[in-house]
Copies of this chain bind each other. A is one copy, B any other.
C-alpha cells in the first residue's frame, strides 16, 4: 500500500511538528521499541529508528534519568570489539494495571513495562453481573496488588496507567448470554479511576479489539498490517487492523461482525435481527469454549457431533469469506471459542474461502490461531495502560513519580 496517500485535510489537521514534539516522538519511539522487543543494543536502536548514535545516546540518557530504562553490558556475544550497550525496560519499577471484564470471568494484573506480568488475580463473573457491578471486584484486585507492591517493593515502583478490556456481552441469571445495550458499557468519565483506587483514569476498549491489539503487538499477527482477529466469546466480535492501525469505528462499536446477516431465512437472533453470522454458527455449535470443546471431542466418535462441527465450520468459513472480500487481509486469527472450532473444521473453512472469496482478496490470506491464547484481552489492556507513557515518556513519568 505504498501508493496510498495518507490523508491530512485541514479539518483533521494536527499541529505541525516542533522541536519539542520531535524529541517527544523520538523518546516514545525508542521506549516503545524496547517495550515491545525487550533488551536491545544501542547499535540496533540506531539502525531501527534511523537516528544517529549521538541522538540515541541522548535519548537513552533522558529515559534512564527518568527511571524508565537501564543500560548495561550485554552477555558475551562471541564477537571481537567493544560490545554495544544494551537498553532494557525497567519492568519491575514501571508498571500499569490491566483488567478484563469477560463474559464469565474477571481478571486483573500488574504488568511491568515491557509487558511482564508481575502479579495477577482472577475470579468468575457471577451470572447477571452488570459491568458496573464488576468494578468493586476489580477494585479489590487492585487494592490487593497495591498492598503487595507496597510490602514487597521495589520502593521506587511507579504506576503509569491502566487499561480495561470490556466484553459487550453478559450472561444472565438464566444462563443465556445477551448483548449489552448501546452506549459505552464503562465510561472513564464517571470517576471510574477513583472507584478503582487509581489516581488516573483508565483507558477502556472492547475485548476483541484489545485481543487483536495484543496479537498484533506480541502474538500471531506481529508486524502484519492487515489482520482480521475473530474473537468467539458467546458471540463473535472482530478486532480489525487495516494498514497497521486499529479499525474501531466512530464510537468504538465497529467489529460487530457476529451480527452481519448471512442468511435471510435464518434463525432469530437476540439482537432483534435474523440469520446473523454468530446465530447461524450457534445453531450447530454454541459459541462457548466449553460447548465447543465438548462437541469437538464428541465428533471423534459421534456422527451427529461430526455433522454439527461440519455445519458450524461451514458457516464460519462463510463469514470469513465475506470479511476477506471486504478487508483483503493477509491474516485471519481465530481466537477465544473460535480457536477449537476452526482447528476441528479447518477444511470446511478453507473450502468456503476458496469458493466465496475473490481470488485477488484471498490469495495471500493465512488462517492462524492466537499465540497469546486466553491472555490476549488482558495483554491488550496492558498495552492501553502504557499508551500514554509511550506517547510522552518524560512528562508521564514525571507526573507519576
Interface residues of A (CB under 8 A from B): 1, 3-19, 22, 25-26, 28-30, 32-33, 36-37, 48-51, 179, 181-183, 203-205, 213, 216-217, 222-223, 225-226, 238, 241-257, 259-265, 271-273, 318, 321-323, 325-330, 355-361, 363-364, 383-384, 387, 390
Contacts and interface: CB of A to CB of B under 8 A. Distances in A.
A304 to B, nearest CB: 22
Chain copies in the assembled complex: 2
A371 to B, nearest CB: 14
A290 B260 CA distance: 31
Nearest to A364: B250
A223 B10 CA distance: 8
Given A12-B244, A262-B262, 15 more contacts: A3-B203, A5-B246, A7-B245, A9-B222, A11-B222, A11-B223, A16-B26, A16-B29, A16-B50, A182-B360, A225-B250, A248-B328, A257-B325, A263-B264, A273-B355
B253 A242 contact: no
A223 B12 CA distance: 6
Contacts of A51: 15-16, 18
Contacts of A29: 8, 13, 16
A328 to B, nearest CB: 2
Contact of A182 (B37, B254, B359): B359
Contacts of A36: 9-10
Given A16-B26, A260-B326, A245 B6 contact: yes
A319 to B, nearest CB: 9
The 6 closest A-B pairs by CB, nearest first: A249-B328, A15-B50, A11-B223, A182-B360, A254-B328, A182-B359
A25 B50 CA distance: 17
A272 B241 contact: no
A246 B32 CA distance: 25
Contacts of A22: 17-19, 22
A249 B33 CA distance: 25
Given A250-B330, A321-B261, A330-B250, A182 B358 contact: yes
Contacts of A4: 245-246, 248, 252
A33 B51 CA distance: 29
Contact of A356 (B11, B182, B261): B261
Contacts of A242: 242, 245, 247, 249, 254
Contact of A360 (B18, B205, B253): B253
